[in-house]
């Protein structure tokens, strides 16, 4: 089954404790991205990756890191989480812009609370 998986689905942590949210896709997609969603603000892109070892900042990259060492995985790293990073996070993958027909597949989301 074609899917994007994220782990963990729920996480409560404390300020300053490094954490990683994993994202994996099984569709051989080149493009992957991370979004955060906050009430009234829609989806805001954090980082995206056009392919392995190619990553770039989205709209709200501050406080986040990513890596793309393999095509299928795109982890989101919070080196020192703060309460303003409490949010619902989504990972997505697609063939990529410029591919003609292009559909982003989203993971189930990770609800993060930073105390």
Partner 1 sequence: LAKTTQPISMDSYEGQEVNITCSHNNIATNDYITWYQQFPSQGPRFIIQGYKTKVTNEVASLFIPADRKSSTLSLPRVSLSDTAVYYCLGEGYNNNDMRFGAGTRLTVKP
Instruction: Please identify, using beta-carbon distances, which residue of 38 and 70 lies nearer to partner 1.
Output: 38
CB of 89 to partner 1, least distance (A): 10
Instruction: Please identify, using beta-carbon distances, which residue of 80 and 99 lies nearer to partner 1.
Output: 99
Interface residues with partner 1 (CB under 8 A)? 4, 33, 35, 40-45, 48, 50, 56, 58-59, 88, 90, 92, 97-98, 100-109, 111
Cα(11)–Cα(28) distance, integer angstroms: 28
CB of 24 to partner 1, least distance (A): 14
Instruction: Please identify, using beta-carbon distances, which residue of 28 and 102 lies nearer to partner 1.
Output: 102
């Amino acid at each position: 089954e074609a899917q994007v998986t994220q782990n963990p689905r729920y996480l409560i942590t404390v300020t300053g404790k490094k954490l990683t949210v994993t994202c994996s896709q099984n569709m051989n997609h080149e493009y992957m991205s991370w979004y955060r969603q906050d009430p009234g603000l829609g989806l805001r892109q954090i980082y995206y990756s056009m392919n392995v070892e190619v990553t770039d900042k989205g709209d709200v990259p501050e406080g986040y890191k990513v890596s793309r060492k393999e095509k299928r995985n795109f982890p989101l790293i919070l080196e020192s989480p703060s309460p303003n990073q409490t949010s619902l996070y989504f990972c997505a993958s697609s063939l990529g812009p410029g591919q003609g027909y292009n559909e982003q597949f989203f993971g189930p989301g990770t609800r993060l609370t930073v105390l």
